[in-house]
């Protein structure tokens, strides 16, 4: 059988990225455009179409070679309707008919998906979950995003809220305030932002020596989660406590998925995985302490492999799924 080709487009708050991806998950050259959401949604839709077209050119293909297009965007959204509703990271867009616009523009079948779900589907297809039948992805960045894939099915949810695993409530008493306004969400404990916040609080309470205090005093913006992980590696005890607690919180999120979804694989993605294998091992340790014995021993706990390409590769995976269903 000859190969089929798809375009995956991942729209972010700052930039959007697209590439042609073949039916084996191999991606052609990626094309990046500025999203410039402040210029309005018509401009945004035009940039999407332009980026798709450039990705096709960069792969030395023609539009006629493309079997389907997949587009991933941040929420809020109505996935089934193909709409972005009121996206906090794409202001002032509202009720943008992304899927139908691209479908009508190119006359090519178009799939639409939440960006975190798409990233999960990308890792599931050709990344850290490629040998798994089911997988839960935790993306650790400013927030904690994620996606749930079960037997090739992206768990979108009935109201496009499937896989919002950053908003698992893991603490009922004196829970930390989350960016979403709620209390006790996983994201309020384990995002990169939360790591920094917990560190600042710890420095305020603690009078001992910590290299991080110098960073905080010098320039607060230098106190990043990466600096905290580095300090922990170098033996800073305050930083080590922050890192250890973070591993524990992520393990709580993971076991809550292991006791409900019970996937083959739990995958962590995002900037924080630069912390490396030792951090992953601390997460694994806490998972073994907290989970039922069988999932504890059998569930693969891994880092993601596709980096920031997961979104457009996953968008292409959604396109491929649409195409397979139409065959």
What does residue 245 show for φ and ψ, rounded to 5 degrees?
-60, -40
Residues 128, 123: Cα–Cα separation, whole Å: 5
Q: Report whether the peptide linkage leading into residue 76 is cis, meaning its omega lies within 30 degrees of zero.
A: yes
DSSP 66: E
Q: Are strands 77-78 and 83-84 parallel, antiparallel or unpaired?
A: antiparallel
Residues 62, 241: Cα–Cα separation, whole Å: 54
Nearest to 125 by CA among 326, 309, 277: 309
Which is closer to a second copy, CB of 8 or CB of 143? 143
- Binding pattern to a second copy, positions 109-138, x when CB under 8 A? ------------------------xx----
Q: Where are the beta strands (DSSP E) in the chain?
A: 5-11, 15-22, 31-34, 66-73, 77-78, 83-84, 110-114, 134-140, 144-150, 153-154, 265-269, 300-303
Among 52, 149, 203, 257, binds a second copy (CB under 8 A): 257
Q: Which of residues 133-192 bind a second copy (CB under 8 A)?
A: 133-134, 148, 150-151, 153, 155-165, 167-174, 180, 182
Residues 72, 267: Cα–Cα separation, whole Å: 19
Assigned token pair, 39: 């210029």
- Binding pattern to a second copy, positions 285-324, x when CB under 8 A? -----x-x-xx--xx-------------------------
Stretch that binds a second copy, among 109-117, 224-232, 262-270, 318-326 (CB under 8 A): 262-270
Contact 256, 277 (CB under 8 A): no
Which is closer to a second copy, CB of 5 or CB of 112? 112
Q: How far is the CB of 68 from a second copy (least distance, A)?
A: 22
Stretch that binds a second copy, among 49-57, 227-235, 247-255, 309-317 (CB under 8 A): 247-255
Q: How far is the CB of 321 from a second copy (least distance, A)?
A: 15
Among 16, 116, 199, 261, binds a second copy (CB under 8 A): 261
Q: Which residues contribute to the site for a second copy (CB under 8 A)?
A: 76, 133-134, 148, 150-151, 153, 155-165, 167-174, 180, 182, 248-249, 252, 255-264, 290, 292, 294-295, 298-299
């Amino acid at each position: 059988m000859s190969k089929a080709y798809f375009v995956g487009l991942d729209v972010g708050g700052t930039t959007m990225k697209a590439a042609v991806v073949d039916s084996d998950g191999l991606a052609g050259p990626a094309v990046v455009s500025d999203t410039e959401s402040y210029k309005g949604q018509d401009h945004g839709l035009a940039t999407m179409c332009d980026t798709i077209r450039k990705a096709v050119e960069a792969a030395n293909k023609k539009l006629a070679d493309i079997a389907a297009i997949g587009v991933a965007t941040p929420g809020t959204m109505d996935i089934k309707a193909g709409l972005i509703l009121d996206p906090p990271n794409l202001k002032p867009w509202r009720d943008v008919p992304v899927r139908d616009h691209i479908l009508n523009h190119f006359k090519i079948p178009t799939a639409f998906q939440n960006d975190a779900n798409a990233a999960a589907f990308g890792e599931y297809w050709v990344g850290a979950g490629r040998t798994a039948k089911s997988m839960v992805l935790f993306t650790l960045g400013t927030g904690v995003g994620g996606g749930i894939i079960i037997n090739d099915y992206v768990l979108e949810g009935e109201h496009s809220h499937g896989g919002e695993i950053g908003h698992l409530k893991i603490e009922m008493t004196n829970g930390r305030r989350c960016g979403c306004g709620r209390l006790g969400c996983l994201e309020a404990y384990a995002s990169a932002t939360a790591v920094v916040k917990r560190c600042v609080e710890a420095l305020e309470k603690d009078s001992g020596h910590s290299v991080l205090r110098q960073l905080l005093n010098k320039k607060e913006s230098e106190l990043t989660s990466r600096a905290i992980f580095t300090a922990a590696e170098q033996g800073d005890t305050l930083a080590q406590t922050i890192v250890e607690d973070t591993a524990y919180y992520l393990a709580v999120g993971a076991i809550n998925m292991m006791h409900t979804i019970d996937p083959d694989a739990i995958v962590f993605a995002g900037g924080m995985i630069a912390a490396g294998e030792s951090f992953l091992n601390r997460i694994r340790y806490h998972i073994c302490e907290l989970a039922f014995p069988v999932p504890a021993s059998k569930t693969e706990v891994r880092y993601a492999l596709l980096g920031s390409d997961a979104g457009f590769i996953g968008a292409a995976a959604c396109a491929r799924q649409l195409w397979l269903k139409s065959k």
